[in-house]
Amino acid sequence: MVFGMTTFTLVHVLLSLIGILSGFMVLYGLVTSNLMNGWTTVFLAATLATSVTGFFFPFHGVTPGIVLGVLSIIALAGAAAGRYGFHLAGAWRGIYVAGSVAALYFNVFVLVAQAFDKIPALHALAPTKPPSGPAFAISQGIVLVFFVVVGVLAVRRFRPATA
């Protein structure tokens, strides 16, 4: 165990953090109309790996994490198809942007939920499992508004010269 986590959980968390960090680089590229080729590959691969490894944790029935994992894989499939399969042609540019932003949002949503679950000061504000309550809702609302605003901005601005 490392930091109280199994090796598998640690790998899952590291993949998630790599996906989030590289995702913010890709998000910057979307807003500045920069393809960010290397960052995009890392983001899509790490985020897909995060979603897939999430299905290997023990579960009993459908959970919010399972639903977000499925939605993330759908968003990533659209983003990858738009970027690599259809080379951002026509509507695929918007599908790539929306899929990338959605997948990053899902990862950040889970990051905030995990922060409220694992960080004592935040957990005190939302002690239920899964986290809920005003502090959690306000935090997630801020995250959602940020991604909607930046996502709309990215769709409008992302027009790279070449794919």
Token digits of residue 110: 């889970």
The pLDDT of residue 12 = 96
Q: pLDDT tens across 113-128, in order?
A: 999 999 999 988 888 8
Say if residues 163 and 81 touch (Cβ distance below 8 Å): no
pLDDT of residue 37: 96
Instruction: Provide the mean pLDDT of the chain.
Output: 94
Q: Give the pLDDT confidence score for residue 29 in this predicted structure.
A: 98
Q: Which residues of the chain have pLDDT under 70?
A: 1-2, 162-163
Sorted by sequence, the CB contacts under 8 Å of residue 65 that are 6+ apart come out as: 54, 57, 59, 110
Q: What are phi and psi of 122, to 5 degrees?
A: -75, -40
| 93: CB partners within 8 A, 6+ apart | 82, 158, 159
Q: Which two tokens stand for residue 112?
A: 């905030």
- pTM here is 0.93
Q: How does pLDDT run across 72-85, given as a tens digit for each residue?
A: 999 999 999 999 99
What pLDDT was estimated at residue 1?
Answer: 65
Domain ranges of the chain: 7-157
Handedness of CA 114, 57, 12, 94 (dihedral sign): negative
